[in-house]
């Protein structure tokens, strides 16, 4: 389906470049309000944001547009994306709006929506909003304009929710934890969650100034967390991203524990309790995780890259757990969307219940070496339709003999094909990736 504005996760771009402008956000608020109210007066929308400076501007623009469409607005202020999904449900709102560009720098921003159920908006609703955006903006009668109100206890509500997902028979007492909030939306929430559950918390990346979100900190840049864990002699570290929907962790020795390893640990804990039929990952999930899960009797399925597709596959299978290597983990038995704090708590429940360290828990999974090579494209090229490329893929898979895999994936944002190989042997993985990338280059040249 062709879209003018919405991508796979809302509308996103550089601030000041269309459509990330105040004028567009005004119209987007109005268009969303029209669709969500079904053209009649009534309903409310909750609006939250991360800590980037442009959020103030876009919050005001959206508020004006929603009011013009006749919807009341509940302003949450800086709040994690998953908190907005949760509060959309508990405040019985028609929808939730998040002003955030997640792990991107402060120069970017974006808008994404949650349905009344706290899930991503269905495609047909996003399409309806795009149709309204092409119409002239009108306004409801003055008596029907929406009112705006700030929810002053939003952070406290969400903190209590997060704590409720941690077993009440367990405690984090005795654990020294470093929490990196990426100078983002979790700065006033995450440290309190872990502290109130008993942990000795050292907070870093918790002084946002509107410009430092994700700068040399957070889940995409964990080096600061690694150093701090070692300096503080902490038991582990937790790194969230700018809007709080992703998490990676660091063990006592300063080693990063990525999304695949965290997913394996959470799966293992649920499996021990007899609560897990299977796990959904993506085509990029490490083969080592799949083998480790299968070895203990846990089924594994792969979806397309993107939390939307992971969640769709989880819903189809009726499975409660899924996620991506990036640390975007969905615990559907706890909440409706990826939640970095909740996911970290599921890992910590395994630590607390078993008495084992993070390093010991991840040792049950061996990550396989993975090599990625990007092959540029001068023009559109259908990899799947190339006979020579498919023959090269078959040859590569034969070389691995079941002990590795290859993947060709056209980039959704750049003119290139990503060639990935992974397996048990690093040298073999690098050789297979190089040979397959060369086969793709030759096929592209012959097609020109």
Specify whether 102 is catalytic: yes
pLDDT of residue 1: 44
| The pLDDT of residue 383 | 87
- pLDDT (0 to 100) of residue 410: 84
Q: Which portions of the chain are predicted below pLDDT 50?
A: 1, 39-41
pLDDT in tens, 138-185: 999 999 999 999 999 999 999 999 999 999 999 999 999 999 999 999
pLDDT of residue 448: 67
Q: How far is residue 252's CA from residue 140's CA, in Å, rounded to a whole number? A: 58
Question: Residue 254's pLDDT is what?
Answer: 98
Question: 304-327, pLDDT tens digit by residue?
Answer: 988 889 999 999 999 999 999 999
User: Hey, what domains does the chain have and what are their CATH numbers?
Assistant: 11-152 (3.40.120.10), 158-362 (3.40.120.10), 370-447 (3.30.310.50)
Residue 231: predicted pLDDT: 98
Q: Which of 102, 219, 326, 343 is catalytic?
A: 102
């Amino acid at each position: 389906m062709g879209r003018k504005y919405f991508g796979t996760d809302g509308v996103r771009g550089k601030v000041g470049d269309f459509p990330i402008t105040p004028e567009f956000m005004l119209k987007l608020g109005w268009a969303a309000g029209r669709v969500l109210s079904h053209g009649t007066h009534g309903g409310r929308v909750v609006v939250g944001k991360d800590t980037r400076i442009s959020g103030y501007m876009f919050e005001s623009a959206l508020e004006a547009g929603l009011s013009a469409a006749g919807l009341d607005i509940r302003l949450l202020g800086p709040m994690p994306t998953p908190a907005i999904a949760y509060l959309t449900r508990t405040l019985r709102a028609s929808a939730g709006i998040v002003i955030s560009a997640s792990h991107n720098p402060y120069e970017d921003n974006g808008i994404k929506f949650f349905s009344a159920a706290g899930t991503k908006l269905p495609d047909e609703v996003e399409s309806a909003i795009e149709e309204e955006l092409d119409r002239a903006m009108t306004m409801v009668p003055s008596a029907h304009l929406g009112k705006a109100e700030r929810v002053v206890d939003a952070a406290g509500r969400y903190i209590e929710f997060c704590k409720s997902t941690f077993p009440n028979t367990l405690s984090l007492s005795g654990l020294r934890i470093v929490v990196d909030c990426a100078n983002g939306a979790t700065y006033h929430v995450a440290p309190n969650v872990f502290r109130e559950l008993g942990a000795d918390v050292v907070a870093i990346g918790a002084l946002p100034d509107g410009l430092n979100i994700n700068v040399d900190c957070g889940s995409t840049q964990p080096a600061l967390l690694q150093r701090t864990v070692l300096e503080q002699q902490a038991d582990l570290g937790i790194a969230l991203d700018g809007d709080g929907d992703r998490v990676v962790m660091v063990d006592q020795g300063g080693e990063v524990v990525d999304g695949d390893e965290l997913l394996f640990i959470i799966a293992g804990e649920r499996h021990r309790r007899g609560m897990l039929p299977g796990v959904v990952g993506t085509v990029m999930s490490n083969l080592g995780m799949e083998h480790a899960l299968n070895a203990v009797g846990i089924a594994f399925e792969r979806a397309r890259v993107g939390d939307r597709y992971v969640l769709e596959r989880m819903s189809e299978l009726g499975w409660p757990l899924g996620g991506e290597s990036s640390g975007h983990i969905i615990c559907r038995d706890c909440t409706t969307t990826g939640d970095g704090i909740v996911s970290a708590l599921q890992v910590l429940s395994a630590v607390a219940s078993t008495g084992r360290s993070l390093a010991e828990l991840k040792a049950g999974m061996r990550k396989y070496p993975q090599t990625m090579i990007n092959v540029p494209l001068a023009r559109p090229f259908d990899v799947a339709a190339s006979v020579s490329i498919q023959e090269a893929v078959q040859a590569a898979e034969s070389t691995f003999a079941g002990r590795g895999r290859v993947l060709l994936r056209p980039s959704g944002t750049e003119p290139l094909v990503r060639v990935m190989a992974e397996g048990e042997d690093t040298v073999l993985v690098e050789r297979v990736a190089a040979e397959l990338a060369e086969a793709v280059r030759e096929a592209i040249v012959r097609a020109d």
